[in-house]
Amino acid sequence: MPTALLLENLHPQARQILETAGFDVVTRTGALDEGELIEALAGVQVLGIRSKTHVSAEVLAAAPDLEVVGAFCIGTNQIDLHAAADRGVAVFNAPFSNTRSVVEIAIADIIALTRRLTVLDTEMHAGVWNKSATGAHEVRGRTLGIIGYGNIGTQLSVLAENLGMSVVFYDTAEKLALGNARRMDTLDELLETADVVTLHVDGRSGNAGMFGAKQFARMRPGAVFLNLSRGFVVDYAALREAVLSGHVAGAAVDVFPVEPKRKGDPFESELRGLPNVILTPHTGGSTEEAQEAIGRFVANKVRDHLATGSTNLSVNLPNLALDQRPDAHRIAYLHRNVPGVLATINATLAEHGVNIEGQLLATRGELGYVVTDVSTLIDPAVVQALAGRPESLRLRLLS
């Protein structure tokens, strides 16, 4: 019975799916640091995490039984994907399941900041009646600038247009504009055009520090700023200065460079206490609907990988979509992508009198993944011959 360790309060749907599939499931609240995680992974085949638990190369090296990591979130920058691939550990995430939740909180933040609702709310709770239209605007007719036009950015683009906003976007990759959205040739062009600037970039290391004092200075006076993507892409000290000077009229921030590991831990930020600044604890994608969808999606991917060898939508291994074949025995072989591997596999099987029923190969950069279905039980000598080759990374037998 394989063991699954689920951390960070994953949705119960994930546990239910894995237990139904025959897993022994262990759950823990909160994230674990490196030492705690290494100790907890002894004898564990499946690890489920969200964004707070870091799966380093050291953790992977100390967990020889680990076969798959499920990231129950969008981002995977908390996992050393290269080290995981080198050890044959598949990584799956949920790239689409919470996009609607992030888009909806972005819309809510845009309206709240543009109407200065946080300022009015604070004054009212302090007993101050300040009925005034000063600084409050409709979003209709204003321009939204989206930096990062991926799954979230494109959906936000459509909803913002439905509210009567004009949409411009900037992305380093070529993207098809939806509706009446217009692509900007440069980031500076977007910043000089938009009344609202929102970041929806991914967690690649090259995005670190991409938005700082220079970018805030290029924004239109009185514009508002949102970061619902990654904490390390923004210089928050520069954002503080831009808000205090009045150049930026307000901001909404959901992600931070350093975040508490557990619920109830203290939170520190230079953005605390600023006027018309909305701070949320990395909950952009945290709705009950999104968490249930993520729990179901990632748990099914993990289950299918261990049962069939399928790597469809894995973020670090060659992708093969595979079905269960009850009439066959399966060899799932991850290896270095070097010439002659397929011929070696087939020659080894032929030497041992094994007939091939079906075979699929996929490559991804330095990696190759061959899945071979055979009609007879596989001789241990075949396993020994293939697993012992220098290009071998991981070999699994699935029946």
Distance CA 91, CA 93 (A): 7
Q: Which helix (H) or strand (E) holds 250?
A: strand 248-253
282 given a catalytic annotation:
yes
Does residue 20 carry a pLDDT above 80? yes
Distance CA 269, CA 236 (A): 8
Task: State the pTM of this model.
Answer: 0.84
Distance CA 276, CA 338 (A): 57
Does residue 179 carry a pLDDT above 80? yes
Q: Of residues 115, 220, 230, 305, which has the active-site annotation? A: 230
Listed in sequence order, the DSSP H helices in the chain are 12-20, 34-40, 57-61, 81-86, 99-114, 117-125, 151-162, 187-193, 213-218, 236-245, 288-308, 341-351, 380-387
pLDDT value for 104: 97
82 given a catalytic annotation:
no
Q: Of residues 11, 100, 220, 282, which has the active-site annotation? A: 282
Q: Of residues 259, 292, 357, 391, which has the active-site annotation? A: 259
Q: Which amino acid is at 105?
A: I
pLDDT digits (tens, 9 = 90+) for 330-357: 999 999 999 999 999 999 999 999 999 9
Q: Three-class SS of residue 36? A: helix
Q: With bands split at pLDDT 50, 70 and 90, how would you rate the model's confidence at 220?
A: very high
Taken in order of first residue, the domains within the chain and their CATH numbers are: 1-98+288-316 (3.40.50.720), 99-279 (3.40.50.720), 318-399 (3.30.70.260)
**In the predicted model, what is the mean pLDDT of the chain?**
95
pLDDT value for 205: 83
Q: With bands split at pLDDT 50, 70 and 90, how would you rate the model's confidence at 261?
A: confident
259 given a catalytic annotation:
yes
pLDDT digits (tens, 9 = 90+) for 277-329: 999 999 999 999 999 999 999 999 999 999 999 999 999 999 999 998 888 89
Q: What percent of the chain has pLDDT over 70?
A: 100
Q: Could you give the maximum distance between any two Cα atoms of the chain, in Å?
A: 87
Lowest average pLDDT, out of 145-154, 156-165, 203-212, goes to 203-212
Q: Which amino acid is at 248?
A: V
